[in-house]
């Protein structure tokens, strides 16, 4: 009897070892994305469908993403950079040139948005548009009176109402911060002329008296509890938070806003390129893209998915501003070495 029990126990042990060995052989896809920027159920469904694991990590700024990608000993397979950083990653020879024959759902993308993407990826060779949006101001009306935000402009950041309160944050992103000051001063977010940057710098010196910190993630929670009263914010993030708290409101400033496009790219040193292609194609599926866009609250460049969206999404002017407003918005473009002038102003403001 004891012998039989020992044999059964040994058989069970062998089975467990074999099971664990099989589990450990599952391919792992390493993905690096912005926080709150994908429907988690899609991750689970992909893992099940392709018998793999996804190691999902997040970043809160393009600059931090680039630093991690350049210094990490573990290569990521897929990352989600904004347009100007697609150009930077390409210059550093870090991107895989895409084989579009492996993407059956590529034709779902909107040709007009693919054309816009050529401002940073001239032949659409290295990146796939993932989402686009605008940057404005989110505030908690429990703490910010209506008359303070009545102007509807970027000038709210410098209002004396906030002086000494330490209740305003801006994004930890040089292009967004300097871009807001450029727009307020009547310039494009991509203008690096000395006159434009001097005007933006002078504006930021005023705003900086009210700014507590530069952060691209924690403001989402801090606006909820009153730690922050007003924050520079992405429109989709604002929609997510407003759905949870009716006291939160969002403004697309009347002067215009920075427009950006985030993208999916495969790194050249990816260890799972075939699986990476499958993941990209999975997200390009119209149904999946629709679900993902409804979760993130950002418009998708997937035309087939957008055609399936309900009126509440399509007609929401925070998500989809009208053409008259979009004419006041410039896509953040790659500036090459000229971006150093913007970075210098940003660092000076942060260190002040």
Same-domain status, 252 and 266: no
Pairwise CA distance, residues 236 & 230, whole Å: 16
> Per mean pLDDT, which range of 89-93, 206-210, 226-230, 347-351 is the poorest?
347-351
Q: For tokens 């002329």, name the residue.
A: 193
Consecutive H or E run containing 195: helix 194-207
Beta strands in 95-210 (DSSP E): 128-140, 168-170
Same-domain status, 283 and 160: no
Pairwise CA distance, residues 313 & 70, whole Å: 38
Tens of pLDDT, residues 282-340: 999 999 999 999 999 999 999 999 999 999 999 999 999 999 999 999 999 999 999 99
Same-domain status, 150 and 237: yes
Same-domain status, 196 and 331: yes
Decide if 154 is inside a domain. Answer: yes
* Nearest CA among 235, 246, 243 for reference residue 320: 235
Decide if 2 is inside a domain. Answer: no
pLDDT at 10 over 80: no
Tens of pLDDT, residues 45-66: 999 999 999 999 999 889 999 9
Confidence of residue 82 (pLDDT cuts 50, 70, 90): very high
Same-domain status, 235 and 347: yes
> Helices 174-184 & 339-351, crossing angle to 10 degrees?
90
Tens of pLDDT, residues 21-40: 444 589 999 999 999 999 99
8 A C-beta contact, residue 263 and residue 83 = yes
User: What integer pLDDT is reported at residue 25 of this predicted model?
Assistant: 85
Decide if 8 is inside a domain. Answer: no
User: What integer pLDDT is reported at residue 71 of this predicted model?
Assistant: 87
Tens of pLDDT, residues 239-277: 999 999 999 999 999 999 999 999 999 999 999 999 999
Q: Count of domains in the chain?
A: 2
Decide if 13 is inside a domain. Answer: no
Domain that holds residue 287: 26-132+261-320
Does 11 or 156 have the greater pLDDT score? 156
Pairing of strands 258-266, 128-140: antiparallel
Does 18 or 330 have the greater pLDDT score? 330
User: What integer pLDDT is reported at residue 351 of this predicted model?
Assistant: 87
């Amino acid at each position: 009897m004891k012998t039989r029990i020992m044999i059964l126990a040994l058989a069970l042990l062998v089975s467990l070892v074999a099971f664990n060995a099989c589990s450990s052989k599952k391919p792992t896809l390493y993905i690096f994305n912005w926080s709150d920027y994908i429907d988690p159920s899609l991750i689970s469904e992909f893992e099940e469908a392709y018998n793999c694991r996804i190691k999902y990590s997040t970043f809160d700024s393009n600059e931090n993403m680039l630093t991690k990608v350049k210094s990490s000993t573990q290569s990521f397979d897929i990352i989600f950079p904004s347009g100007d950083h697609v150009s930077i990653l390409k210059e550093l020879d870090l991107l895989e040139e895409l084989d579009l024959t492996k993407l059956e759902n590529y034709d779902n993308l909107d040709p007009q948005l693919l054309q816009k993407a050529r401002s940073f990826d001239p032949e659409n060779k290295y990146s796939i548009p993932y989402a686009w949006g605008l940057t404005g101001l989110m505030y908690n009306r429990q703490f910010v009176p209506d008359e303070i935000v009545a102007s509807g402009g970027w000038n709210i950041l410098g209002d004396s109402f906030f002086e000494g309160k330490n209740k305003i944050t801006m994004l930890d992103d040089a292009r967004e911060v300097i871009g807001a000051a450029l727009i307020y001063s009547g310039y494009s977010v991509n203008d690096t002329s000395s006159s434009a940057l001097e005007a933006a710098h002078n504006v930021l010196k005023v705003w900086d008296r009210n700014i507590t910190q530069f952060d691209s993630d924690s403001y989402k929670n801090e606006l909820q509890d009153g730690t922050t009263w007003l924050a520079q914010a992405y429109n989709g993030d604002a929609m997510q938070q407003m759905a949870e708290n009716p006291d939160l409101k969002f403004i697309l400033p009347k002067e215009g806003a920075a427009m950006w496009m985030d993208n999916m790219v495969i790194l050249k040193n990816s260890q799972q390129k075939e699986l990476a292609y499958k993941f990209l194609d999975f997200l390009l599926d119209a149904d999946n893209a629709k679900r993902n866009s409804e979760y993130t609250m950002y418009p998708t460049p997937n035309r087939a998915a957008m055609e399936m969206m309900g009126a509440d999404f399509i007609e929401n002017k925070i998500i989809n501003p009208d053409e008259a407003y979009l004419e006041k918005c410039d896509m953040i473009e790659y500036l090459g070495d000229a971006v150093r002038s913007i970075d210098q102003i940003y660092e000076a403001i942060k260190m002040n």
